[in-house]
Amino acid sequence: MHNLSNFTLSEILRKLNSINVEINLKHQKPFPKVKMASLYEYQFRHIRINPLGYFNRARFVTSLINFTFIRSIVADCYSKEGRPPYDPCSMFVLDLIASLEGITIKELCNILHDGTKGYAYRLYAGISPEHIPCEADFSNFRVRIGEEKYNAIFHILVQIVKKLGMLTGKILSHDGTLVHTFARYRGCNYACKKECQSIPVRDTNFINDIQYRIKKLLENPSSIPLNKEMRAYAKCPRKECLPEDVQPCSIIVIAFTILVFNEEIFTENDRQTSRLLDPEDNLGKHNLMLKVLYSHISKIDATQWPYPVYVQCPKMPADLDAKIGYKQSLLLESNVDKMSQYEEASIILIRKKGSLGFR
C-alpha cells in the first residue's frame, strides 16, 4: 500500500464517528442497573503525539472508541436487585488499560489509589476516588460475564479495526522459524508414537519394589505420613534412540498416597489396585488404604512373572510431527474392541479420574 492517507488521525476520527454510531444502534438492550459505583461516559480528548511519534496508548484508545456498547452485551449477566455494581464499561476499560500499559491488575489498582498517577486512568474509566475497585472486583467481573461475553466484546473491537482498513485478512503469513527460548516446554522432541505409548519398564522387580516399600512403611504405622504423595519412577529405556548429549528422562510410573480407610472414597478401582500393590492387605489390617493419585501405566501383563509393566510416556507431544505441544493428562481412551488385541489374562490399567481401572 503506497497511499497511507487513510490512516491519518483525522481520517480515522472521521470513520470512527460513523462506526461508533453503527455499533450503538446494533446494541440497544437496556442495562438493568440504574445506580452504579462508577459511570463510564465516552468523551473525545485531544491526542498528543510528540515529534518522535510517542503517544499515550490508554488515552488514544479511550478517546477513539466508544465502549458504551458493553452494557448492552452484558445486560443478561446483571439483575435489578443487589448492591450497585461497577459499570461494566469501566471495568473493561481498566482491564484493557492494564493490558495496553503492560502492567498487572494489582499494579493498576495501586496506581488508581495514587491521587496524581491514577487521575488519568480514573477519568478514562469513570471511576471516582471514593470507589476504586480492587483485584477481587476484577475477578468477580470476569466470572460474572464469562468467557463468551468477553470474546463478543473483543470481536467487536476487531471488527472496528477491520472497518478502519487496518486489518483486511487478504494475506495470512506464518513464520515457522524455530528459535531457542526459555519457554517451559516439557515435551519430548524424540517421541515416537509406536514406542512411547507402551514403553516397557526395564526394572523387572518394579511391582515387588513397591510392595516392599509399603511393607517397610507398615513396620512403624504411626510414622506413616498420611496424605503425602509417594511416587515410583522409572528411567526412559530408549537411551539408544537419543543423541549422546541427551539423557533419558525419568518417568513417574505411578503416584499414590496412604489414607485412613474411608469406605466412601475407596472405589472398586482402588480396591483392585491395592490387591496388586498390597496383596496381603497389610494396609487393611492397620485400618489404612492406598489411593492412586495418577498413573502412566498403560498395561501390566499378568501372563508373565514378574509382571512386566508398560507405561505411556507423559512427555509425548500432542503434535508428533512438529514435536511441539505438551499434553499433560493424555488418557488411554481405548474401548473393548481396541483392547481385544491383549490376552484376556492381561491386567490393563487405564488412567482415568486419578485412579486405576482393571480389566
Instruction: Render pLDDT for 314-343 as a digit per residue (tens, 0 to 9).
Output: 877 766 665 554 444 433 333 333 333 333
153 and 293, same domain (yes or no): no
In a domain, 169, yes or no: no
**Residue 306: C-alpha distances to residues 136, 205, 255 (Å):** 55, 7, 21
Mean pLDDT of 288-300: 82
287 and 201, same domain (yes or no): yes
Check: CB of residue 19 under 8 Å from CB of residue 64: no
Q: Residue 266 has what pLDDT?
A: 81
121 and 216, same domain (yes or no): no
In a domain, 256, yes or no: yes
State the pLDDT confidence band at 306, using cuts at 50, 70 and 90: low
28 and 148, same domain (yes or no): yes
Distance CA 249, CA 326 (A): 15
pLDDT over 70, % of the chain: 82
Distance CA 238, CA 247 (A): 10
Packing angle of the helix pair 9-26, 135-163 (nearest 10 deg): 110
Instruction: Render pLDDT for 165-182 as a digit per residue (tens, 0 to 9).
Output: 777 777 767 667 766 665
Domain range spanning residue 325?
193-357
User: Does position 91 have pLDDT exceeding 90, yes or no?
Assistant: yes
- Please provide the average confidence, as pLDDT, over all residues in the chain: 78
In a domain, 142, yes or no: yes
Mean pLDDT of 285-300: 83
Check: CB of residue 68 under 8 Å from CB of residue 75: no
In a domain, 181, yes or no: no
Distance CA 176, CA 139 (A): 36
251 and 156, same domain (yes or no): no
In a domain, 174, yes or no: no
State the pLDDT confidence band at 283, using cuts at 50, 70 and 90: confident
215 and 85, same domain (yes or no): no
Q: How many domains does the chain have?
A: 2
In a domain, 303, yes or no: yes
345 and 223, same domain (yes or no): yes
204 and 282, same domain (yes or no): yes
Q: Residue 55 has what pLDDT?
A: 79
155 and 220, same domain (yes or no): no
Answering whether pTM is above 0.85, one says no
Greater confidence (135 vs 226) lies with 135
Check: CB of residue 322 under 8 Å from CB of residue 328: no
342 and 204, same domain (yes or no): yes
59 and 139, same domain (yes or no): yes
State the pLDDT confidence band at 16, using cuts at 50, 70 and 90: confident
Packing angle of the helix pair 57-64, 9-26 (nearest 10 deg): 50
251 and 309, same domain (yes or no): yes
In a domain, 15, yes or no: yes
Distance CA 314, CA 317 (A): 9
Greater confidence (200 vs 337) lies with 200
Backbone angles phi, psi at 350, to 5 degrees: -110, 125
Element (H, E) at 310: strand 309-311
